[in-house]
Amino acid sequence: MSITSFHPPVRTLMGPGPSDVNPRILEAMSRPTVGHLDPVFVGMMDEMKELLRYAFNTANELTMPVSAPGSAGMEMCFVNLVEPGDKVIVCQNGVFGGRMKENVERCGGTPVMVEDDWGVAVSPEKVEAALKANPDAKVLAFVHAETSTGAISDAKTLSALAHEHDCLVIADTVTSLAGSPLMVDDWQLDAVYSGTQKCLSCVPGLSPVTFSQRAIDSVTSRKSKVQSWFLDLNLILGYWGGGGKRAYHHTAPINTLYALHESLVILQEEGIENSWARHQKNHEALRAGFEAMGLDFVVPEDQRLPQLNAVSIPDGVDEAAVRAALLNEYNLEIGAGLGAMAGKIWRVGLMGYASNQTNVLFCLGALDALLSGMSAPINSGVAVEAARTAYQ
């Protein structure tokens, strides 16, 4: 056997995640590893909690990264807040609402589904009707930014409805954190999870979470044990809680946490509002290019995520062949549709470090060249200029 070191190609990542990683973050990962109970590492942990509060717009004491990807952050929220027999209203307008339903069932809870068409926001009217019809519901769960479709829902309104009916709120912000306005405290979101590989432009593998005092009170008053040992907040708080003394819970992914710390420092330097504005500006330029080309957006304009752009595939085009050509000829990755959207859309990400003018123009130029070469029914040669005009 003569396997040698792995050297991946340099890609431009403009799919639904992961996004391009800032070189500063890759450098941070290469710094010397210290012990996970080392006082200098504990000091960095406290800084990271403060930086995450800034990103989430919260004062929640219990704000930290889970040592696993966003799916584990989701599971942490459900296994801690949902007990056997609990009724949970779950909103589904894409793939990830379905994963919430699966979590409720595995916790022994009863999901009450509020379903909307894929590609539109969650309907507050349907949610209100479900809350009125289920006065014994304990939790309302929804996806703020649905990665499978590029739709963003009105988290503030949904949360207000939940609290009017004495429900806790679980919100998926995997794709919205640092890319779209997210106000955890102002909107009274109780249990919120995200991921590092989207608009934070960090490496995959960590899930920032934050919990309100209402959520913590629910966890500490449980009648049954949390079904997951690893994700039990009662145990994790001994390691991630306040104060200098930390109890061993697990060996944290030390160098990956260096990466998240650097990512959050970069976000702080740019300013959270500036990050939101940058994502919006680049989305508008990309939109101008796509529309000039003749590609249609799936999501209504007032419900679109700027960082995840879902567009319909032109008639007669082999969408997989286009994605393969982008990867092989341009080292450019865009995403396919998931679930009900499979084969019908492309998902073009403009997340974090990858959300910039160079990538917008590069992606439009590459797509234009490939589709024109396939004699696809598009307006050739106009997309890049339309985007340039939008920037001006």
pTM of the model: 0.97
Q: pLDDT (tens digit, 9 = 90+) per residue, 353-378?
A: 999 999 999 999 999 999 999 999 99
Amino acid 239: pLDDT: 80
Nearest-angstrom CA–CA distance, 88 and 169 = 10
Q: pLDDT (tens digit, 9 = 90+) per residue, 102-135?
A: 999 999 999 999 999 999 999 999 999 999 999 9
Q: Give the 3-state secondary structure percentages of the chain, helix then strand then coil, rounded to 5.
A: 45, 15, 40
Residue 240 pLDDT > 90: no
Residue 242 pLDDT > 80: no
- Which own/partner pairs from 337-343 qualify as long-range (CB within 8 Å, at least 24 positions apart)? 337/148, 337/310, 338/94, 338/95, 338/148, 339/94, 339/95, 339/98, 339/118, 339/148, 340/118, 341/118, 341/119, 341/148, 341/149, 341/298, 341/310, 343/313, 343/319
Q: pLDDT (tens digit, 9 = 90+) per residue, 294-350?
A: 999 999 999 999 999 999 999 999 999 999 999 999 999 999 999 889 999 999 999
| Three-state secondary-structure class, residue 19 | coil
Amino acid 237: pLDDT: 82
Q: How many CB atoms lie within 10 A of CB 389?
A: 12
Residue 9 pLDDT > 80: yes
b/e per residue 39-52 (b: at least 16 CB within 10 A)? eebbebbeebbebb
| Three-state secondary-structure class, residue 12 | strand
By the 8 A CB rule, do 208 and 196 touch? yes
Of the pLDDT bands very low, low, confident and very high (cuts 50, 70, 90), residue 247 is confident
- Ordered by where they begin, the domains of the chain are 23-269 (3.40.640.10), 272-391 (3.90.1150.10)
Of the pLDDT bands very low, low, confident and very high (cuts 50, 70, 90), residue 243 is low
